[in-house]
Amino acid sequence: MMEEIILKYLREEATEIEKAQLAEWLRQQEANRQQFMQLRDLWLAATPIPHAGPDYAEQAFQRFMQATKKLESKGLKNASSGLYR
């Protein structure tokens, strides 16, 4: 299930609730973050990215984390709380 949400996120198709679920899952444990980075790296290697610099993936991840913090401040954290524990 989480792999589907990760791929939707990478394709920029994830809903706001799915993004919040992903952020919560990433915060839960290091193994989740490692799995995300592995899938992200595979996806990036298989997807041509025009004009992407060497820090593109890290910058994209930082933008994701900032966006999820905004969602949490709007109260969407509760929508995903406990779904992946």
More confident residue, 82 or 31: 31
pLDDT of residue 75: 67
Per-residue pLDDT reduced to its tens digit, 42-64: 888 887 756 667 787 788 888 88
Q: How far apart are CA 60 and CA 58, in angstroms?
A: 5
Global confidence as pTM: 0.57
pLDDT of residue 68: 79
pLDDT over 50 (residue 80): no
- The secondary structure of 26-79 as a DSSP string is HHH-HHHHHHHHHHHHHHHHHS--TT--TTHHHHHHHHHHHHHHHHHHTTTHHH
pLDDT classification of 26: cutoffs 50, 70, 90: very high
pLDDT over 80 (residue 77): no
Q: How far apart are CA 74 and CA 63, in angstroms?
A: 17
